[in-house]
Amino acid sequence: MPYYRQVGEIPRKRHTQFRQPDGSLYAEELMGIEGFSSESALLYHRGLPTAVVAAEAVDERGRETAPNLPLRPRHFRTGELAFPHGDPGTDAVTGRRLLFGNGDVSICFAVPDVTSPLYRNATGDELCYVQTGSARFETIYGALEVAEGDYVLLPASTTYRVVPRGERPPRLYLVEATGHIGPPRRYLSARGQFLESSPYCERDLRGPTEPLLLEGERVDVLVRHHDGLTRMTYEHHPFDVVGWDGCLYPWVFNIDDFEPITGRIHQPPPVHQTFEGPNFVVCSFCPRKVDYHPDSIPVPYNHANVDSDELMFYVGGDYEARKGSGIGIGSLSLHPSGCTHGPQPGAAEASLGAERFDETAVMIDTFRPLRLGEAATASEDSSYYRSWVRDKPES
């Protein structure tokens, strides 16, 4: 994160004696990225965070992917994905279903109704978008209450679990990176402050405000690494951090706090960028005033993704450019490199004179092709690629 935060009790000087009420030392844990040359946080545990009493590999299925062949635009309906609820139910870790993936990122969906096991992704950062509902993300840094429209950013190797809230299970769109996710560098000063030109700033972000302390012995944590899942059993509960400080911690940003950048003519997708990751970006399309040149065409122009696959998740409002395509709330459209795409037939003319678009969508552009996971195969509308043809023959 671009700014410093302190939560709970810490000593005045780092790496100095900090004692518990019984006189023993608290155990320091430095969480740092890029070795010792980038952001970090210093946490103080009651027990040793190194005390592993058992470890075993966990068999995992459903993470296989297939190429996007034949190459074509595709449409998927996440509302058609099944998530068993009740006993034993679905959790946000073991119950997530893989939609897409490549060597840089995996994109999943989950609709949990039970608390997840403790989990740590050591492969990279995770970004979770809450489409609907609410949940509590409990982490070693403290708890985060999240609801519809929230992005939750979890740094690599953060131990956490997800507790669903409310009457209906939350719908979670999950991005698993193989590196780090953060605000675009062009939004930040040389020392990490958000610039005046950024569409959001520090005031829009929420982080943990107090420690989360739980008791427990021989506690299991699922750990994801590049080669798969391991179940590690710890001597003490990892939620034993009495205090921490630093610039590396989980945080929340709500999509409604993104301030759209508009112009006299249609603005390109980079003005919507919200996050960047290893070989991918995440953009937020929000309700906004649209182009105000007297001859403007508010919907996008046809464009070819020469270097990227474009994945759009439609989460609210009425997406003008896709009218007549079958796309609705909860839909995902995949427009891959090698295919020109644009508004549906008639959308450009219909948009003339519009002053505002009431639409909300989360877009991910990847700079390597996305492969299809089992959840994509299970939810595809196979006729979508013909939706630009006025007379749609059967394939």
pLDDT of residue 57: 97
Q: What's phi and psi for 302, nearest 5 deg?
A: -60, 135
pLDDT, tens only, 183-224: 999 999 999 999 999 999 999 999 999 999 999 889 999 999
Peptide bond into 88 cis (omega under 30): yes
> Considering the domain boundaries, does residue 28 fall inside one?
no
CA–CA distance, 102 with 383 (Å, rounded to integer)? 24
Half-sphere exposure in the Cβ direction for 24 (13 Å, CA): 9
- Annotated binding-site residues for homogentisate read 319, 341
Last residue of a domain, which of 226, 254, 282?
254
Q: Do the beta carbons of residue 85 and residue 95 sit within 8 Å? A: no
Q: What's phi and psi for 256, nearest 5 deg?
A: -70, -15
- Asked if 299 and 199 sit in the same domain, the reply is no
Burial 119-154 (b: 16+ CB within 10 A, else e): bbbebbbbbbbbbbbbbebbbbbbbbebebbbbbbb
> What are the structure tokens assigned to 161, written together?
């679990």
Share of the chain residues as helix, strand and coil, in percent rounded to the nearest 5: 10, 40, 50
Last residue of a domain, which of 254, 288, 321?
254
- Asked if 85 and 229 sit in the same domain, the reply is yes
Residue 370, beta-bridge partner list: none
Cα–Cα separations (whole angstroms), residue 317 to 81, 146, 269, 323, 389: 21, 21, 18, 12, 25
- Asked if 129 and 235 sit in the same domain, the reply is yes
Active-site position among 226, 266, 272, 293 = 266
- Asked if 94 and 219 sit in the same domain, the reply is yes
Cα–Cα separations (whole angstroms), residue 386 to 14, 20, 74, 92, 242: 62, 67, 10, 35, 57
- Asked if 271 and 225 sit in the same domain, the reply is no
| Amino acid type, 359 | E
pLDDT of residue 390: 74
CA–CA distance, 354 with 299 (Å, rounded to integer)? 9
Reported pTM: 0.95
> What are the structure tokens assigned to 11, written together?
């000593």
- Annotated binding-site residues read 303, 310, 319, 341
**In the annotation, is 180 catalytic?**
no
- Asked if 203 and 60 sit in the same domain, the reply is yes
> Considering the domain boundaries, does residue 214 fall inside one?
yes
Pairing of strands 251-254, 97-101: unpaired
- Asked if 204 and 288 sit in the same domain, the reply is no
> Considering the domain boundaries, does residue 394 fall inside one?
no
- Asked if 137 and 232 sit in the same domain, the reply is yes
- Asked if 206 and 90 sit in the same domain, the reply is yes
pLDDT, tens only, 226-258: 889 999 999 999 999 999 999 999 999 999 999
> Considering the domain boundaries, does residue 35 fall inside one?
no
pLDDT of residue 353: 87
pLDDT of residue 328: 92
> Considering the domain boundaries, does residue 39 fall inside one?
no
CATH code, domain with 213: 2.60.120.10
pLDDT of residue 320: 60
Element (H, E) at 27: strand 27-32
Instruction: Name the domain count of the chain.
Output: 2
- Asked if 303 and 354 sit in the same domain, the reply is yes
> Considering the domain boundaries, does residue 218 fall inside one?
yes
> Considering the domain boundaries, does residue 91 fall inside one?
yes
250: closest CA among 114, 92, 100, 136? 136
pLDDT tens track, the chain, 395 positions: 669 999 999 999 999 999 999 999 999 999 999 988 999 999 999 999 999 999 999 999 899 999 999 999 999 999 999 999 988 899 999 999 999 999 999 999 999 999 999 999 999 999 999 999 999 999 999 999 999 999 999 999 999 999 999 999 999 999 999 999 999 999 999 999 999 999 999 999 999 999 999 998 899 999 999 889 999 999 999 999 999 999 999 999 999 999 999 999 988 889 999 999 999 999 999 999 888 899 999 888 898 888 999 999 999 987 765 777 789 999 999 999 999 988 888 888 888 988 888 999 999 999 999 999 999 999 999 999 999 987 655 54
What are the DSSP calls for 160-199, one per residue?
EEEEEESSS--EEEEEEESS--BS-GGGB-TTSPBPTTSS
316: closest CA among 131, 167, 172? 131
Residue 151, beta-bridge partner list: 129, 253
Last residue of a domain, which of 232, 254, 276?
254
- Annotated binding-site residues for Fe cation read 303, 310, 341
R_g of the chain computed on alpha carbons: 22
- Asked if 137 and 228 sit in the same domain, the reply is yes
pLDDT of residue 346: 87
- Asked if 192 and 299 sit in the same domain, the reply is no
CA–CA distance, 174 with 107 (Å, rounded to integer)? 6
> Considering the domain boundaries, does residue 109 fall inside one?
yes
> Which residue range is the domain that position 225 belongs to?
50-66+80-240+249-254
